[in-house]
Structure 1
Amino acid sequence: MNSIEPIINPQSIAIVGASNRPGSVGFATITNLLRAGFKGVLYPVHPKAKSVQGVKAYPTITAIPDEVDLAVIIVGAELVPGIVEEAARKQVKGCMIISAGFKEVGGRGAELEAQIQQTVRETGIRVIGPNCLGMINTNENFSMNASFARLMPRRGNIAFISQSGALCTSVLDVAAGRDIGFSKFISFGNKADVNEVDFLEYLKDDPDTDLILMYLESISDGHAFMKVAREITFQKGKPLLVVKSGRSQEGARAAASHTGSLAGSDATYDAIFYQSGIQRVESINELFHYASAFSKQPMPKGNRVAIITNAGGPGIMATDAAIRYGLTLARLSDSTHEILRKNLPDTASLSNPVDVIGDATHERYETAIRAVLMDENVDGAIVILTPQAMTDILETAQILPKVAQDVDKPILGSFMGLVDVSEGIRFLEEHGVPNYIFPEAAARAMSSMVRFSERLSTRNQRRDLPEFPVERTQVAAIIREKLGDKDKYCMPEAEANELLRCYDFPMLKSRLLRDPSEIEAAVEQVHPPVVMKIVSQDILHKSDAGGVRVGLTSLEEIRQAYDEIIANAKCYKADARIDGIFMVEMARQGVEVILGATKDPSFGPLCMFGLGGVFVEVMKDVTFRLAPMWELSAENMVRGIKGFKILQGVRGNPPSDITAIKNCILRLSQLVSDHPEIAEMDINPLIVYPEGQGCVVADSRIILARPAGK
């Protein structure tokens, strides 16, 4: 049994702080439990009252003569740790602390929460909260509203879990207005013990839940979260939609590398969600737009959408939105065109979008909707209706669920307006057809469904972690030597390349010159043309210091460049420590991309890929994934950048070697996973050649840092 199941499905509840005083949280909570018709036994706990709301009360939890599954705690913060300890002695399965005044206020509140956590560790009792709204379970065998929310939602197939209690009350109100029901509705507050991963573990196998919605401010354990989310989405096929606040937060530290500067905390969450099959949404409003579609309609088999409308303008708006959000306008078959031609007026548009004209009756709508959805080239439909004097609004609404019974394809409505179309919208919502006031929202919801279906279609693909034969022990030894007793060390390119060679990255020939006398021997090894670069811990940007020379072809040019680079470096920073000049063969021309990695303090190594040069400097066209990653993740990283078409070949240029890029990303993932001391690194650029010709590392940089606690 899941350890939190008895507190989500309790047979008995003690309400510590239950009250007869109207307006108090204790009054609202026990009133909600009674009004919802809780099927178990209630035990109000009050130090003085003999009964609360007509139910026999007990002075303490330990005075209750029977077993208790859940203790709902609604008392002052100072009293809570003692009550949790008392509940543990009573062998209560779990506590839900609605009381506030803990970690969220700091100081003494944080100390009180730490005491609760100590009791959890010592006794094993589970605790939800503190500082939460409570929990609702609409299953008819429990009918539990253990919260102080004003509304008990109707029963449905959606679970909602939220870190914010205040948000929950608004969500319940919106859901009631949109005829959306819930299986479970959970506010978990400060996460002193039970967190989002625990709830997802339970909801994964909950037969009442087909769709999970979440509002998150943080994730406690990134890898555990990803594991259970993958099980929910890829194995169980349950959609998981998440609103994650804090998009605008920057990374916690200033970063010296491109990767570090681009990888704010939000990039980490984007990577986690994508790799877990989660749909990230922008707002609560959008969350419910998607939830209506996901919970009421079948998933589309593809991205080919048909649009049926009685007005040209909204049809064009829907078309633009569909294309913008990655949908394709379905190409209707000849037989469908023939049906439309026979049944629609001459002025109607028979192509997609199908315009049935403003005077369309419900019969005309039905013919068009049925013909279009029966077309094997169509994966789903958006039906638009603008209220005109001759429009049969309710009768047209009645058509959509009737047609839906005969097809296994999603139908989304866009009955545009609020007043004139209200009767039709009400009918649609009551009969399982989501409606959107404007067609752009319908197109976006359909697109979200398509994305989930596409991700679901990959569930049977192999998800093994690739393991390349590498010199792991040698790299570990190099890192120990270079880091020594320092907390941080920036490896210059020559040393960074040594690590990359151990992991079999494609490298250029190179030589570190510490004295001009070494030039002639180096030229024998590294054949011109060559590039020469200053090597100095004190000069971060080599070009700014005049520390780079390219295209050197003769011994004389190389000697002259050596002297100039040293002089420029001393002029740029007189006290700079100069370790030498790095001479490397000049790579032939190709497409420049960047690979990188940084270390998220909570979730570990995060890998980056993007186009190099101006694209990373200005456009920031990059993708991220957590390491270690699957082969499919590496491929999606490459295909996920906006500039992917450049790699496919444009204006007569051949397609680039995508396989070579993917292998380098996977080697990077393995390198940073194997060695937690790698805090940041850039391979910039990685020069990619035409398909089948590979790629080569042209520049690299690695920052080592001692892992926390070592």
Structure 2
Amino acid sequence: MKDLDAIFSPRSVAVVGASTTPGKVGHDIFVNILKGGYRGVLYPVNPNAESIACVRAYPSIADIPYPLDLAMLIVPPKIALQSVQQAIDKGVKGVVIVSAGFKEVGGEGLAIENQITQLCRDNDVRLVGPNCLGVINPLADVRLNASFSARMPKPGNVSFISQSGALCTAVLDFAGERDFGFSKFISIGNKADVDEVDLLRYFQDDPDTEVIMIYVEELQRGQAFIEIAKQITGGNRPKPILVIKSGRTSAGAQAAASHTGSLAGSEAVYDAIFAQSGIIRVERIDELFDYAIAFAYKNENALGKMRRKVPHGNRVAIVTNAGGPGIVATDMTVVSGLELATFSEETVEVLQSHLPATANVHNPVDIIGDAAQDRYERALNAVIRDEGVDGALVILTPQSMTNAIGTAKVIVSIAQRSHKPILCCFMGIVDVSAGVKYLQENGVPVYPFPEQAARSFGAIYRYAKWLNRQELAPYHFKHDKAGARKIVEACVNDGQCYMGELTGVHLLKCYGFDVLPTELALTGDEAVAKAEEMGYPVAMKIVSAQIIHKSDAGGVRINVADAEAVKAAFEEIVANAKAFKADAIIDGVLVQKMAPKGQEVILGATRYPKFGHLLMFGSGGVSVEVFKDVTFRLAPINRNSARQMVRGIKAFTMLSGFRNMPKADLTILEKLIVSLSDLVTDNPEIKELDINPLLVHPEGQGATVADCRFILEPEEN
């Protein structure tokens, strides 16, 4: 028995806190299990009742004279603690605590939850909750509705995980209206023990789960989540994961010293996690179901095995009997990352030979409102066979001569013969209902509006790109890790929370960054001597732990060309710094060799509790504050993620050689992003860092660090 089988497929269940009063949770959960047709043995536990819903009740779990797999608890925290101990003594392997009043209220509730959790872990018992809706398994050999939702969903191949019990009831209601089925359905509440990571591991090998849907409020184990999600979405038997994350907002970014810290927020962390895991993020519950319908779409391959239908590209053909919906679908196709396919001459000729003269034989194909199923058949057959078409959207609007069921049968027949996905939009309710039902029964995705069909096609295309991605060989760097540790530990031991550029360039050099000759000058004369030693022109920057953003204080001068200009710049920089922050401690002025010209980008990292370091790449210099053209990933990352980061910003067009601009050295950018990941992973004391700007030179000429800053803070144990 797998560790969560006792939760999802128990042979016997005790409901502790079963009530004789309808409307109470303890009564309704027991009755829901009973009326749901549970295939195992059910025991109500209530010391004050002889029976619940005509089933003999027991005073306690200990009084049940038969083996027990699962204990459902609907009792207050103190009684729950006693009941868990009794359940463990009885030999249960699963406990679900529906009751509230635990961690979410703090104090004694938190203390009791911690005791229960430890008790379960010490005895290898898995715990779901507290403060959850419960567990549902509608499959025919189990039929367990151990929840306070009266609605038992139909069986299906989609498993759903939710942190919110209230959302679960809404989802079940929504699913019922759309005749949507589930394999497993679980609310995890406080996640005292079982969380999303545990459930993903279970669903990975569950033969009845083909698609996984998750509602997330907060993840506790970011790296573990990425690891298991990547195995599921891109492994030997891939399964799509669809996620709704609550609280999508620009709020949540830190009041931080670095650009990275101020731009990154909790949403950036979650977007990075989902991007690295091959997870499709959706915005609304209706989208969740739309996409799940498309992802569950399968057909039999040449070996007789069922395979998920995903497109090999993004070229879509649209077949419609009405111009307006076809235009809407065209617009949404482009918005969804797809493009209208261009038909071959042969396809156009076939369409012309079968369609009326008034029809449009170019994409979108308008077969005119009086089209019967034969016209749909000929048009769809022609476009789906075109090698320049990766899939099709079929739109039907009900006209007086429309045969919805006949058209549906034609579509199913073609879909079963083709490896390309065909998604349908049958607009209306009553007139098309028979056709819609036939499509649903035969596994062809069908939607009431063209926007839904186009968005869903876009989602399966994004997943197809993830499945077909090339795995680049990893880099093998020889970093000076020992040298870097000495620098970081020396700063931490000296109580330095801010590492300036003078020390920072040496740290970056340990990880392969090309840095400029950099010296600290305490006087104007000393600045001149150092400038002449390294050669003109030079850059000059104020050095003060109290002034992190040097440009804001007027503390930067570039292209300083001679001794006289160096001396004047020194005096001016110091004066500006004192005027900007009178109590700032001025350590001197940095003199740095000017870097060769290059395109400005920013690299950065900021550390998050529970997740580690969030890496940032984007347009650099002052433009990072204006345009916020950045991408994020959670460290550690591989070469693939670095490449996606570089290609994920809008300014990538500029980097890849726009008009007369030379193509930037993209190879060194990818290497440096992975090196930065290594740096922060090896040195967790780095709380924030910016390399801004990093000047990227033309292809083959590398990149140079022009400025950097580090904030250090030892991690809390």
TM-score by length of 2: 0.95
Question: 1:262: which partner in 2?
Answer: 263
Aligned residues of 1:686 and 1:696 also touching (Cα < 8 A): yes
TM alignment of 1:302-451, pairs within 5 A = 302-451=313-462
Q: More deviation in 389-398 or 133-142? A: 389-398
Question: Is structure 2 residue 480 aligned with structure 1 residue 479?
Answer: no
Question: 1:226: which partner in 2?
Answer: 226
Give the residue type in structure 2 aligned to 1:333.
S
Question: 1:213: which partner in 2?
Answer: 213
SS at match of 1:624: strand
Q: 2:513 aligns with which of 505, 519, 537?
A: 505
Give the residue type in structure 1 aligned to 2:479.
V
Question: Is structure 2 residue 715 aligned with structure 1 residue 704?
Answer: no
SS at match of 1:412: strand
Closer, same or farther: CA 190–157 of 1 in aligned 2, 3 Å: same
Closer, same or farther: CA 485–520 of 1 in aligned 2, 3 Å: closer
Question: Is structure 2 residue 81 aligned with structure 1 residue 71?
Answer: no
Question: 1:295: which partner in 2?
Answer: 296
Q: Deviations over 1:626-648 (max 9, x none)?
A: 11111000000011112211111
Shift of 1:108: 3.5
Q: 1: CA distance between counterparts of 2:541 and 2:623? A: 23
Aligned residues of 2:685 and 2:714 also touching (Cα < 8 A): yes
Give the residue type in structure 1 aligned to 2:179.
D
Q: 2: CA distance between counterparts of 1:301 and 1:149? A: 41
Aligned residues of 1:99 and 1:132 also touching (Cα < 8 A): yes
Q: 2: CA distance between counterparts of 1:572 and 1:164? A: 49
SS at match of 1:214: strand
Give the residue type in structure 1 aligned to 2:603.
L
TM alignment of 1:267-278, pairs within 5 A = 267-278=268-279
Q: Could you list the runs of 4 or more consecutive aligned residues of structure 1 that deviate by over 4 angstroms after TM superposition?
A: none
Give the residue type in structure 2 aligned to 1:361.
A
SS at match of 2:15: strand
Q: Deviations over 1:462-518 (max 9, x none)?
A: 574x442111111111112112253x6111111111111111201122222123342
Question: 1:588: which partner in 2?
Answer: 596
Q: 2: CA distance between counterparts of 1:598 and 1:520? A: 36
Give the residue type in structure 1 aligned to 2:27.
F
Q: More deviation in 445-454 or 16-25? A: 16-25
Taking only aligned residues, the RMSD between alpha carbons, in angstroms, comes to 1.7
Question: Is structure 2 residue 289 aligned with structure 1 residue 251?
Answer: no
Question: 1:23: which partner in 2?
Answer: 23
Shift of 1:276: 1.0
Closer, same or farther: CA 485–510 of 1 in aligned 2, 3 Å: closer
Shift of 1:107: 3.5
Q: 2: CA distance between counterparts of 1:618 and 1:325? A: 27
Shift of 1:429: 2.5
Aligned residues of 1:467 and 1:670 also touching (Cα < 8 A): no
Q: More deviation in 211-220 or 373-382? A: 373-382
Q: More deviation in 666-675 or 372-381? A: 372-381
- Structure 1: stretches of 5+ with no match in the other structure: none
Shift of 1:395: 2.3
Q: 2: CA distance between counterparts of 1:77 and 1:576? A: 54
Question: Is structure 2 residue 659 aligned with structure 1 residue 658?
Answer: no
SS at match of 2:172: helix
Question: 1:622: which partner in 2?
Answer: 630
Q: Deviations over 1:165-199 (max 9, x none)?
A: 11111111111221211110111111111111111
Q: Deviations over 1:125-144 (max 9, x none)?
A: 22101111111112322121
Closer, same or farther: CA 271–473 of 1 in aligned 2, 3 Å: same
TM-score by length of 1: 0.96
Aligned residues of 1:178 and 1:429 also touching (Cα < 8 A): no
Shift of 1:336: 1.6
SS at match of 1:62: helix
Shift of 1:432: 1.8
Give the residue type in structure 2 aligned to 1:474.
G
Closer, same or farther: CA 678–651 of 1 in aligned 2, 3 Å: same
Shift of 1:590: 2.0
Aligned residues of 1:61 and 1:90 also touching (Cα < 8 A): yes
SS at match of 2:291: helix
Question: 1:455: which partner in 2?
Answer: 466
SS at match of 2:673: helix
Question: Is structure 2 residue 534 aligned with structure 1 residue 533?
Answer: no
SS at match of 2:691: strand
Question: Is structure 2 residue 689 aligned with structure 1 residue 678?
Answer: no
Give the residue type in structure 2 aligned to 1:100.
A
Q: More deviation in 571-580 or 637-646? A: 571-580
Q: More deviation in 106-115 or 617-626? A: 106-115
Q: 1:669 aligns with which of 663, 677, 680?
A: 677
TM alignment of 1:516-595, pairs within 5 A = 516-595=524-603
Q: More deviation in 180-189 or 367-376? A: 367-376
Shift of 1:675: 0.1
Shift of 1:604: 0.3
Give the residue type in structure 1 aligned to 2:50.
K
Aligned residues of 1:179 and 1:429 also touching (Cα < 8 A): no
Give the residue type in structure 2 aligned to 1:161.
I
SS at match of 1:405: helix
SS at match of 2:417: coil
Give the residue type in structure 2 aligned to 1:390.
M
Q: 2: CA distance between counterparts of 1:566 and 1:166? A: 60
Give the residue type in structure 1 aligned to 2:707.
D
Q: 2: CA distance between counterparts of 1:249 and 1:589? A: 34
Q: 2: CA distance between counterparts of 1:28 and 1:520? A: 84
Q: 2: CA distance between counterparts of 1:483 and 1:186? A: 45
Aligned residues of 1:267 and 1:624 also touching (Cα < 8 A): yes
Question: 2:6: which partner in 1?
Answer: 6
SS at match of 1:290: helix
Q: Deviations over 1:379-427 (max 9, x none)?
A: 1111112223332233223322122111122111112233443343333
Aligned residues of 1:179 and 1:430 also touching (Cα < 8 A): no
Q: 1: CA distance between counterparts of 2:71 and 2:583? A: 67
Q: More deviation in 652-661 or 294-303? A: 294-303
Q: 2: CA distance between counterparts of 1:641 and 1:629? A: 17
| Fraction of identical pairs, as percent | 53
Aligned residues of 2:44 and 2:55 also touching (Cα < 8 A): yes
Shift of 1:701: 0.6
Q: 2: CA distance between counterparts of 1:544 and 1:520? A: 24
Q: 1: CA distance between counterparts of 2:345 and 2:579? A: 76
Shift of 1:53: 2.3
Shift of 1:250: 3.4
Q: 2: CA distance between counterparts of 1:675 and 1:44? A: 55
Q: 1:494 aligns with which of 487, 494, 502?
A: 502
Aligned residues of 1:593 and 1:684 also touching (Cα < 8 A): yes
Q: 1: CA distance between counterparts of 2:366 and 2:244? A: 36
Q: 2: CA distance between counterparts of 1:248 and 1:100? A: 28
Closer, same or farther: CA 252–658 of 1 in aligned 2, 3 Å: closer
Give the residue type in structure 2 aligned to 1:202.
Y
Q: 1: CA distance between counterparts of 2:317 and 2:107? A: 58
Give the residue type in structure 1 aligned to 2:377.
E
Q: Deviations over 1:228-283 (max 9, x none)?
A: 11111111310001111121273374211110011100100111111111111111
Closer, same or farther: CA 428–615 of 1 in aligned 2, 3 Å: farther
Closer, same or farther: CA 49–476 of 1 in aligned 2, 3 Å: same
Give the residue type in structure 1 aligned to 2:64.
I
